[in-house]
Structure 1
Amino acid sequence: MADSSNIFVVFDGDCGICSASAGYIERNKMNENLLTVPSFDFDLPKYGINPEIALMTVIFIDEASGNVYYRTRAVMEICKHLSQPFRIFGYMLANNIFDTIFNPIYNFIARNRASISTKLGLNACKIPH
């Protein structure tokens, strides 16, 4: 019997890059149980997640396993549920070595997402500059 537990991708719904990424995930997901939810519409305390953290990073929550991932690791876990070629990258790169190398890049983008969103013509983030 297939597991019907949900997998949540929690993102900052006020961020242009985050919202555009969530739209891409919805269009390319291979698993109907993968749900994208803005952090302001999600019960963060239920999963022990600080709301301030949810404004700074994407969060991947797998209800079946109880695993919660942040930043680069969350992105790779999401990729495992997308169409190719992202799926194979997710399986190859969801590890601590990759996280250590790419989390600084993720952090840079997260810190600068308001200006990046504006430059890309996306809705500007409501986060302070």
Structure 2
Amino acid sequence: MRTRPVLIFDGDCGFCTTSVGVAQRLVRPRCDAVAWQRADLASLGVTAERAHHEVLWVTPTGRVYGGAQAVAKILLSAGGVWSVVGAVLSLPPLRWAARAVYRLVADNRGRLPGGTAACAVPGAKPHGT
């Protein structure tokens, strides 16, 4: 049984990998971070499709949070001022805004610094449409 949450991210995406590295250095979330390509997804209760679509936070009890909710959980786990930011991002209407911003970033991660063609999310609308 796991005793720490697991942060699942897209290890093939340079933007995602860099973002997780920065978060680990600056925010210091209390979790184990693993690229979904190297994770035992079945034991974590997630699919490859979902893991490719968004960052995931899996609690030790198996509850899965995705996207902006996962980011809020990352911040909450860090404690201090970060947990205040995570708590605020969990409350409506900021939760709704965070979800929209997260989706915008995730759908365009291939265009962001460090992003590559491998970062493109299947089904995302092309820029400008």
Q: What interval of TM-score do these two structures reach, taking the shorter chain for normalisation?
A: 0.7 to 0.9
Equivalent of 2:74 in 69, 72, 78? 78
Alignment match, 1:13: 11
Could you tell me the TM-score, scaled by structure 2's length? 0.78
Equivalent of 1:49 in 46, 51, 61? 46
SS of the residue corresponding to residue 81 of structure 1 reads helix
Deviations 1:54-103 (A, max 9, x none): 0110000111x432100101000001123653221012322464332321
Is residue 74 of structure 2 the alignment partner of residue 89 of structure 1?
Answer: no
Percent identical across equivalent pairs? 24
- Cα distance change on mapping 1:109 and 1:123 into 2, 3 Å: closer
Amino acid at match of 2:45: G
Q: Distance in 1 between matches of 2:14 and 2:43?
A: 26
Q: Distance in 2 between matches of 1:96 and 1:54?
A: 25
Amino acid at match of 2:41: L
Alignment match, 2:58: 61
Indicate if the aligned counterparts of 1:16 and 1:125 stay in contact, CA closer than 8 A: no
CA RMSD after TM alignment: 2.2
Question: What's the offset of the Cα at 1:26?
Answer: 2.0
Could you tell me the TM-score, scaled by structure 1's length? 0.78
**Gaps in structure 2 of 5+ consecutive residues:** 121-125
Q: Distance in 2 between matches of 1:96 and 1:42?
A: 32
Q: How does 1:16-35 map to 2 (within 5 A)?
A: 16-28=14-26, 29=28, 31=30, 34-35=31-32
Amino acid at match of 2:64: V
Q: Distance in 2 between matches of 1:73 and 1:96?
A: 12
